[in-house]
Amino acid sequence: MNKKITSFVASLAILVSTAATAAPASAIAAAPLPESFDISTNLETYNFFPKIFNQGRQGSCTACATTYYQFTYEVRRAMFKNDNYADLNFFYSPAYMYNLINFGQNNGSCILNAYASLKNHGALNLDQFGYDSYYDQISKNDKPAIRYINNWEFNNLRNDEKNFYEPICGQYRRKGVYIVPNEYNALSDTERESYIPVYRNINDASPLRYYYVVNSYRINPQKTNPKDIISALKWRLKGESDLNCYNQNSIEDIKLEINEIKKRICEKKVVVTSGVFSYDNDDCEDINMKSAVNYDVNNKVTNNKRDNVFFYNFSPNPYTDKEAFSSVGSHAFTIVGYDDNIACDINNDGYIQDSEKGAFKIANSWGTYWGNEGFAWIMYDALYPTSQAGCVIPNVTRPYTDSEGKKKEYTIERCHAFSHRGYYTIDVEEKPVTLVSEVELITNNTYAIVNDNINSPTYAICNRDYNEDKGRYELINDPAVFSGSLFNDITEDCNDIIVNDKHLKYGNHNTYNIKLKNIDQYDSHFSVKAVRIKDSLGNTVAEKIMDENDFYSEYDNGNRRTYFEESLAVDFPKGDMNYDHKLDRNDSEKINEYFNILYNRYSDNNQKKTINDKFSSFQIELLDANDDGVVDINDYQELNNMINS
């Protein structure tokens, strides 16, 4: 597993949203908090919380925590609140989010970048954008290799993972390009770097084939249906809220911090956080992991429970050994519960003191074989600068490799269990989508191109660094060539009007400015092939295709430009269902279909779903012939009169 994950979050916790939480903290503070609350098991919430995920060999913990766990949970809750019969059988894809915010590298990513993307674009679900836990390789003698898998292994994959495999001779192998050993041997050394050997099983001596490696953590590794991207805009993040930052060296402040996290859990909000994460069963269980215990009325330990409890967290000192600290990396995870009665004999004296009681429950993304079936308890005591139970861990050294490839050791020190100090909850909202812009482009670095119509940036909140040699801020990324389309919701650019005291947004009779910006103007460039405006179902409403002479380039007479803007007009007669700028009998079939659905005997839910599946918001707007804000029989009669006149 890749455990060197998210970074930069500590210095970025200053971004605090004004979004309100589900219930005011003061309302809960007025009454004592319950002794325990667990979102993953509570009868009112457990159906909304996703099952444990395994990020595998991708460094996607931030995407798992923010998108798979937190966003899925909040959207499910909101959908159920709106409709008790809503289909909640979906999981938002961490692969989709990770590819947007990892800047082309299989390393860490930033929580705030994930939130910015969820705010602007929402997310695709796993059925639309599958996750490849085994994107890279399985080790064979410390060398990159992959192997065929058997029926049992295939059947234990998630449905979205099965799409990456194909049957072959009674087994399964990764889909992709394969060459035989003779072809591989004929390649140059540079060409061979793109291939890894494939074995029938892990004990084979010679490879059967060589597989061309496609890094699925790179941008857009799968063909994504534009309609899916547009549908993802329906549910988005409304805002994120960070707990107050506390002094991690103050015992009183840590007590406040623990209480604030518990309040959010009681408000039924899962909490995303991150930190230097040393909770590893394989390497650290002798240092920081024990079993929870039972105890009698005299607080004497009676026996161990099954649950794993982490009572200590460690890292190299970031001030005295920055490179060693960087080599440890960080991890993002989700706090889902707490229990004041979880106990651990931290100081090994056979008795349980008050300081040895209480723990937070976290959901990790290392699969169900880790911890307590994917969860773990983190003792409150692990948050303090020194153990309140009097536990002192002797110095322990760990090996690491420095930037020059030299083998070194570092000494671990006690650190805050959630060391990056950011604790984020989110609110989500259902957004009406009328019109969406599309820019079809080619770029040598898709991570550098952002839509300038968006108020908050989609990327790069955490991925800029100052280059002292060049005297400028630069994007930290591994550039990814991209040829495709970028989409953006422009519904809010529609005109506001008041009809019968109703506040409406109308998309017709408007001119829309579509903008792109290159945030890495020194090394990245792009060219635009076409711009379009689409409705909520993906139908093209307006477009401009650049011909060979009008093909947009950021080079203009030798001068470099880093900004693109194009205007498209949207102006249709009422009832123009096919967007051909005229109302005629070609529109009649679609008009009749809408009103047949509207006045047939459907249940409210089925009628709404049927209409939304067949008609875009913009088409429904065009059916409002008399502009009174309601589509009814009066509009039908008027449209028919207009067609027949």
The token duo for 542 is 């307006």
Reported pTM: 0.87
How many of the other CB atoms lie within 10 Å of CB of 63?
Answer: 36
Q: Please, which residues have CB within 8 angstroms of residue 39's CB and are 6 or more apart in sequence?
A: 45, 46, 49, 73, 265, 268, 270, 336, 337
Mean pLDDT over 422-427 rounds to 94
Domain ranges of the chain: 24-131+225-426, 138-212, 432-571, 578-645
pLDDT category of residue 122 using cuts at 50, 70 and 90: very high
Are 100 and 147 a contacting pair, CB within 8 Å? Answer: no
530 pLDDT more than 80: yes
Kindly write down the DSSP assignment for every residue of 535-582, as one continuous string. Answer: ETTS-EEEEEE--TTT-EESEETTEE--EEEEEEEE---TT-TT-SSS
pLDDT category of residue 222 using cuts at 50, 70 and 90: low
Helix (H) or strand (E) holding 637: helix 633-644
What pLDDT digit, counting tens, does each position of 153-168 carry?
899 888 888 888 999 9
Which range, of 104-113, 215-224, 380-389, 517-526, averages the lowest pLDDT? 215-224
- Please, where are the H alpha helices in 306-419? 322-328
Superfamily of domain 24-131+225-426: Cysteine proteinases (3.90.70.10)
Q: Beta strand 375-379 with 271-275: parallel, antiparallel or unpaired?
A: unpaired
496 pLDDT more than 60: yes
Instruction: Please provide the average confidence, as pLDDT, over all residues in the chain.
Output: 84
pLDDT of residue 558: 53
What pLDDT digit, counting tens, does each position of 254-309 carry?
999 999 999 999 999 999 998 887 765 445 556 778 889 999 999 999 998 888 88
The token duo for 539 is 């139908």
pLDDT of residue 7: 32
Kindly write down the DSSP assignment for every residue of 585-624, as one continuous string. Answer: GGGHHHHHHHHHHHHS---HHHHHHHHHHH--HHHHHHH-
What pLDDT digit, counting tens, does each position of 605-644 carry?
788 889 999 999 999 999 999 988 899 999 999 999 999 8
Mean pLDDT over 320-333 rounds to 76
- 563 bridge partner residues: 517
Three-state SS string across 309-332, please? Answer: EECCCEECCCCCCHHHHHHHCCEE
What pLDDT digit, counting tens, does each position of 4-34 carry?
333 323 332 222 232 333 444 444 445 789 9
Taking alpha carbons only, the member of 93, 176, 159 closest to residue 129 is 93
Instruction: Measure Cα distances from 460 to 93, 100, 102, 521 in Å.
Output: 21, 11, 10, 14
C-alpha R_g of the chain: 28
Highest-scoring range by mean pLDDT, 192-201, 512-521, 576-585, 623-632 = 576-585
Phi-psi domain of 550 (left: phi exceeds 0; alpha: psi -120 through 50; beta: other): alpha
SS3 428: strand
